[in-house]
Amino acid sequence: MPYDVSQGAQTREKKEKRDRSQDPLAALKKRVARLEVAVGDGQYRFAEIGTSIEDLEAGLDDLKNGLLGTLNEALDTQQRERLSLEDKLVDVLAKL
Task: Parse the chain into domains and list their residue ranges.
Answer: 5-95
**25 contacts 33 by C-beta, under 8 angstroms:** no
Is residue 39 very low, low, confident or very high in pLDDT (cuts 50, 70, 90)?
very high
What pLDDT does residue 29 have?
92
Listed in sequence order, the DSSP H helices in 1-96 are: 5-22, 24-95
**27 contacts 20 by C-beta, under 8 angstroms:** yes
Cα distance between residue 92 and residue 19, in whole Å: 102
- Report helix, strand or coil for 1: coil
Cα distance between residue 34 and residue 17, in whole Å: 19
What is the crossing angle of helices 5-22 and 24-95, to 10°?
A: 100
User: Is residue 1 scored above 60 in pLDDT?
Assistant: no
Q: What percent of the chain has pLDDT over 70?
A: 78
pLDDT digits (tens, 9 = 90+) for 71-88: 999 999 999 999 999 999
User: Is residue 59 scored above 90 in pLDDT?
Assistant: yes
